[in-house]
Structure 1
Amino acid sequence: MILVTSAAGHTGAIMVNALVKAGYDVVATDINPAVANLPGIKQALVGDLTQLDFQRQLVASADQIVYIPPLFSAEEALIGESLVDLSVAAHLKQFIFISVTHPILTTLLQHTAKRDVEEHLIYQGMTSQLPYTILQPMHYMHNFDPQLVHNTGKYQIFYNVDSKVAYVDPDDVAEVVVKVAGNIGQHDKATYELVGTKAYSPNELVTQYNALTGEHAVTQYVDVETFLASIHAQDLFFRTGFKHLADTYSQWGLDGNANVLHMLLGRQPTTFEDYLKNRLKK
């Protein structure tokens, strides 16, 4: 039995679907009750990862964990470290941590929290021999929604429209998760950076979209305060983390190398153009 946390989110649902299709018995958990609607799962557990008793229930439900951290949680590092400790105590067969590319970047709150969990997992892995694998995905392609761009004629973004960020298809990451879960020994103690594309600016993404569709969409910068107001974000940590994200991407962008993902997939990673084609078919 394999547990997937944050399973009702976009990435979590894709990973659950891939594991179910691969024949795994999946326990899906999220604070969102919609997690119970995921097709093919054996069990849904609804609860708050910040609660120790709920974490104990989760660890007792499975012998492998795919830990996807909650988005912009002030307690993210504590949640992850506690799940690692409980997994050690329960002698779990495997702990797969969905981290982020370049967790050492101190200008990003959600990166530094994952860095702390990675460190804790590595120490625990060395002292307890908990089998683990750390996956470090790049910025997900689903953050560009071609249907929304089609409906509105614009791609609204909260960082500099000329800053370049690399991407990865969440389906490619899910494919790696299935491979790692199916061969614990081969991937034990490994850390894999999962980058799918070279870095593209928002303007370049829209250019690719227009070339494919024949449309005339435009890129539109939206300052981060306006963006946060549009999604009714009130949590202070979430707001601060998002501002750090906007500032970091505007100043430096974010990129990496696709060689590791190519090796793990045994093929070229999904291109942004192919991602668009796949999404526009749906």
Structure 2
Amino acid sequence: MPDFQNDLILITCASGKQSTALIPHIQRSYKKIRLQCNSSTSAQSLQDRYPDSEIVQADLANSDDCHRILKDVTACFLVLPPFHPHETTLGVNFIDACIAQKDNGGPLEHVVYSSVIHPILTKLLNHDCKRYIEEYLIESVVSYTILQPTHMMEMLPLHKLMQEEKPIHSVNWNPATRFSFVTTRDIGEAAGKVLRERERHVAATYQLVSTAVPLSYVEACAIVSKVLGKEVKAEHKGFEDAVDTSIKMINGGKEPPKAMKEIGARMFLYYNERGLIGNSNVLRWLLEREPTGYEEWVRLRVKEIEDQK
């Protein structure tokens, strides 16, 4: 059973969307929280935002760093940097450190790994690499739960669209292709529940989808138009521009390595034709409520943005 006073919970990539959504749920239960980030800038930002948490700067490509941040950890939420050209290696490094911690009599009881929906899709390099991490985790001695979130609602730049008089959302693929969406609000709540109820979720794999019906970005922008009271158009951005600007942004504004651009290019080509479709039944069961619909998310996000003014 979890010891909410003494268990140490590790959250990786703590500045990212998923971890940011998870942290409030963990803070309500656990007293000891360790947040990992990669840069000194992120470390300072996290320290300012979560002064009662332990902040650790670590490179998950470094095995020694993985061992260091896992010291005395009871359970962890593992999410890895997006589009990293060596993501599988990062995951294996971390799991090896988890195995070593257990072998040395450490307190590690549970790893919650945030993977991706349909890691079996080998045409998507950013999915395929997670398939190997899932396999390595399943075959390890570590108790685990695997979460498989789909395409995130937060990809829509709602704040920008609210500011524009005639808003246009430039989509990196065919705007008519349909997707199943999830919001980080639901991911954070689901991951928090798993970390609070660890024993109930051992060896489970959960597909995380919020929307009951798949939506295209044309349909999503129509919902945004309804909420904002002004037309929001969806247009198809050119392929090369989409890859260059998106992957550079993910890489912190710096020119990304070639392998990172190739991962993004493969994903955009796939999304252009096929989208990404899943089912919301598991998330509904896990949350014990109706997952957040797209219009509900837009209204909640608009209110958050307006409250921050």
Tell me, yes or no, if the aligned pair for 1:26 and 1:42 is still in contact at 8 Å.
yes
Give the 3-state SS of the residue equivalent to 1:205 in structure 2.
helix
Aligned to 1:251: 273
Given candidates 172, 188, 194, the residue that maps to 2:202 is 188
Deviation string, structure 1 residues 67-93 (Cα, Å, up to 9, x no partner)? 001111111111111211211221211
Given candidates 239, 245, 250, the residue that maps to 1:230 is 245
Tell me, yes or no, if the aligned pair for 1:27 and 1:42 is still in contact at 8 Å.
yes
Deviation of the 1:230 alpha carbon: 3.1
| Distance in 1 between residues matched to 2:303 and 2:238, nearest whole Å | 32
Q: What is the letter of the counterpart of residue 281 of structure 1?
A: K
| Distance in 2 between residues matched to 1:215 and 1:182, nearest whole Å | 42
Deviation string, structure 1 residues 232-260 (Cα, Å, up to 9, x no partner)? 44321221111111111111111111000
Aligned to 2:109: 93
1:81 aligns with 2:92: yes
1:20 aligns with 2:27: yes
Deviation string, structure 1 residues 161-200 (Cα, Å, up to 9, x no partner)? 1101111111111111111111121100111111111211
Aligned to 1:135: 147
Give the 3-state SS of the residue equivalent to 1:106 in structure 2.
coil
Question: What TM-score does the superposition give when structure 2 sets the normalisation length?
Answer: 0.86
Given candidates 127, 144, 167, the residue that maps to 2:156 is 144
Aligned to 2:191: 177
CA RMSD in angstroms, aligned pairs only: 1.4
| Distance in 2 between residues matched to 1:100 and 1:24, nearest whole Å | 29
Tell me, yes or no, if the aligned pair for 2:21 and 2:187 is still in contact at 8 Å.
no
Aligned to 1:158: 172
Deviation of the 1:53 alpha carbon: 1.1
Q: What is the letter of the counterpart of residue 10 of structure 1?
A: K
Distance 1:149 1:207, change over 3 A: same
Question: What TM-score does the superposition give when structure 1 sets the normalisation length?
Answer: 0.94
Given candidates 76, 83, 90, the residue that maps to 1:65 is 76
Deviation string, structure 1 residues 78-134 (Cα, Å, up to 9, x no partner)? 11112112112212111110000000001111101110000011111xxx2x21100
Aligned to 2:134: 118
| Distance in 2 between residues matched to 1:113 and 1:162, nearest whole Å | 28
Distance 1:140 1:24, change over 3 A: farther
After TM superposition, what 4+ stretches of structure 1 lie above 4 angstroms from structure 2?
Answer: none
Aligned to 1:55: 66
Aligned to 1:8: 15
Deviation of the 1:24 alpha carbon: 4.3
Tell me, yes or no, if the aligned pair for 1:7 and 1:35 is still in contact at 8 Å.
no
Deviation of the 1:227 alpha carbon: 2.5
Aligned to 2:293: 271
Give the 3-state SS of the residue equivalent to 1:60 in structure 2.
coil
Deviation of the 1:223 alpha carbon: 1.8
Identity %: 26
Q: What is the letter of the counterpart of residue 59 of structure 2?
A: D
Give the 3-state SS of the residue equivalent to 2:181 in structure 1.
coil
Give the 3-state SS of the residue equivalent to 2:83 in structure 1.
coil
Aligned length: 278
Give the 3-state SS of the residue equivalent to 1:208 in structure 2.
helix
